[in-house]
Structure 1
Amino acid sequence: MQRRKFVHQSLLAGASVFAASAVKAANDEKDLSVNADKPFNLNYAIHDGMFKNNGGKDFVDQIKYAYDLGFRSIEDNGMTGRSVEDQKKIGDTLTKLGMTMGVFVVDKGGNSANSLSTGKAEYLEIFLKGCRQAVEVAKRVNAKWVTVVPGNFERHLPIGIQTANVVDALRKGAAILEPNNIVMVLEPLSDSPDLFLQTSDQTYEICKAVNSPSCKILFDMYHMQKNEGNMIHNIDLCWDEIAYFQIGDNPGRNEPTTGEVNYKNIFKHIYNKGYKGVLGMEHGNSQPGKEGEMALLKAYRDSDSFM
């Protein structure tokens, strides 16, 4: 069966979950079929497994399926853990489809067990080794952005010393990445109060101090809604240092329309500011199976309909 025909049939088969009545379901089927191969206004990036029920278990098949749905980017946090063969296969597929590779995570580049705030030489070397590895992986998958989290807060050091340690480490990482046109994007997180990097303004300050085109902000809207709220205002304040966005509604960390965030308004704001980059879909599916994947697609079509 041709992939496009399969996509349209899948959309039609799943359309019943979109409506409370047979009449509305029929209208949804028609609308989604028309838009199945239409790119979105913004560049949303799928994750492996997000369309596994309709697109297949293999990530390359999911990428092709997502392309037919209108998506034009992917991201993959665990790309460094894939085989070289799989990395090249993914990179070749993206090139053929004209799709963009979003972020992957620098291996051991500042998780909770590797805190750059401490200033310890062994942690710095783990981070720099991850940066050097990221350069090689990026070449295979045509990547430009890599995610970095500086790690935990160090309670035995003053905050200024910790910040200086992080800035020093990131400058060394940027010296590796910048000649290769790779941008590390720093991600403030809400996962634990122990994490050093928590807010957008703190991340902005650090990027200014590093002072490199290879050190920018990853503004994950799920985490920032939890940690600080007031997202449109804070996006405006940090705009010149933001290189990448990620998406997830709150509570639940699922697709837009499932929580409290008005993503249609935020997407419109980002679009009107001229953002041309990637927005990573770093969240789960609120519903299981094929129907859940179609509900996710509808949520993005609805949230992207801000024009």
Structure 2
Amino acid sequence: MNRVDFIKKSGLLLGASAFASDLTAKERNMSNKTFNLDYAPHQGMFAASAGKNFIDEIKYMHNLGFRSIEDNGMPARSKSEQTQIGELLASLNMRMGVFVVPKGGNGQNSLAAGKKEYEDIFLKGCRESVEIAKRVNATWVTVVPGDYARRLPLGVQTGNVIESLKRGAEIFEPHGITMVLEPLSDTPDLFLRYSDQGYEICKAVGSPSCKILFDIYHQQKNEGNLIPNMEMCWSEIAYIQVGDNPGRNEPTTGEINYLNIFKWLHGKDYKGVVGMEHGVSNAGKDGEKALLNAYRAVDAFI
């Protein structure tokens, strides 16, 4: 074993040892046990146990059995940190989930407006995202088209979004990267809010690099009828995110039957990432243990 590999392995073993000492015997038996679906935590979810350093937290997540992470804010990290994260994920055989395309469409530069200067900002973010994706081994990036341009007819706005996304897909396709469009519930001003709307846009763009990010929390708020809507749009869905409602915390804290939804996803042979795009209902180590237990519970569909 060469020195670099020895150091990497030693660091992982030390992390695992520190983690194991903080667990009960039952929890130690469950540690490092993977899940039936590929759930992806983000930084801060296990900070009370692992500390605030993201590298340490990723190792801790791996010890808990997680095999992917998400990081919406990855573009704001330094290139050296991005590279370090990518190398760690590769060494642990973990996947990188989504990060958000820088200025990939928002209230200030909505793609629905059809303005060249707004599209140029979006395309610049796409090109930057390709370089970030190379450093962290990412294959999915999140795009939100932005707000309605309410002085334009809806069909014209939709056409404007489609044309901009076609240009974005041309950037991502050669690199095997998929931009996933996320319908959101945050405000009625957002142009993209419904799954059928995302389906229409993706069909029109007609690229493997333009698909839907189906965030179950947002779509429970916007439209409900979750499994039938996912079934109708399935050919265009490439990525799933979750959060319970109300509260946007971990599964089992709200009204959504995640055990049944995850069973359905498994039955669809979904092999993608399930992003844990939510908060933690209770603080500290006890809250983090409850978070882990919640995912063990809703993952027990087999």
- Measured against the shorter chain, the TM-score band is over 0.9
Are 2:23 and 1:11 aligned? yes
User: 1: CA distance between counterparts of 2:298 and 2:107?
Assistant: 34
- Is the contact made by 2:181 and 2:211 (CA closer than 8 Å) also made in structure 1? yes
In structure 1, the partner of 2:5 is none
Residue 224 (1) aligns with residue 219 (2): yes
The amino acid across from 2:206 in the alignment is N
Aligned match for 1:39, one of 34, 37, 42: 34
The answer (yes or no) to whether the contact 1:218–1:246 under 8 Å persists in 2 is: yes
Q: Would you say the 8 A contact 1:47–1:74 is kept in 2?
A: yes
Contact 1:11 1:294 in 2 (8 A): no
Corresponding residue for residue 44 of structure 2: 49
Q: Letter of the 1:133 partner, please give it.
A: E
Please tell me whether residue 237 in structure 1 is matched to residue 193 in structure 2.
no
Distance verdict in 2 for CA 1:11–1:111, change over 3 Å: farther
CA distance in 2, matches of 1:39, 1:296: 15
Structure 2 match to 1:300? 295
Deviations 1:131-171 (A, max 9, x none): 00000000000000000000001110000000000000000
Q: 1:118 aligns with which of 113, 117, 120?
A: 113
SS of equivalent residue, structure 1 residue 146: strand
Q: 1:167-212, CA deviations, whole angstroms, 9 ceiling, x for partnerless residues?
A: 0000000000001110000000000000000100000000000000
Residues of 2 paired with 1:223 and 1:100: CA distance?
24
Contact persistence 1:255–1:286 (CA under 8 A): yes
Deviations 1:107-128 (A, max 9, x none): 0001221100000111000000
Letter in 2 for 1:195: L
The residue matched to 1:185 in structure 2 has which SS?
strand
In structure 2, how many angstroms separate the alpha carbons of the residues matched to 1:240 and 1:9? Answer: 45
Equivalent position amino acid for 2:287 in 1: G
- Is 1:93 aligned with 2:88? yes
Aligned residue for 1:102? 97
Matched with 1:2 is 14
Which of 111, 128, 137 aligns to 2:132? It is: 137
SS in 2 for 1:280: strand
Structure 1: runs of 5 or more not aligned: 13-28
Q: Is the Cα–Cα contact under 8 Å of residues 7 and 36 in structure 1 kept in the other structure?
A: no
TM-score, structure 2 normalization: 0.94
Q: Which of 173, 177, 182 is the matching residue for 2:177?
A: 182
Q: Indicate if the aligned counterparts of 2:31 and 2:64 stay in contact, CA closer than 8 A.
A: yes
The whole-number CA distance in structure 2 between the counterparts of 1:167 and 1:284 is: 32
Q: After TM superposition, what 4+ stretches of structure 1 lie above 3 angstroms from structure 2? A: none
Question: 1:196 is matched with which residue?
Answer: 191
Give the counterpart letter for 2:22 in structure 1: S
SS in 2 for 1:232: helix
Measured in 2, the distance between the counterparts of 1:134 and 1:83 equals 13
Distance 1:9 1:286 in 2: 24
SS for the counterpart of 2:22 is helix
Percent identical across equivalent pairs?
63
Asked if the contact 2:15/2:56 (under 8 Å) is kept, the reply is: no
Structure 2 stretches lacking a partner, 5+ long: 1-12
Which of 252, 258, 261 aligns to 2:256? It is 261
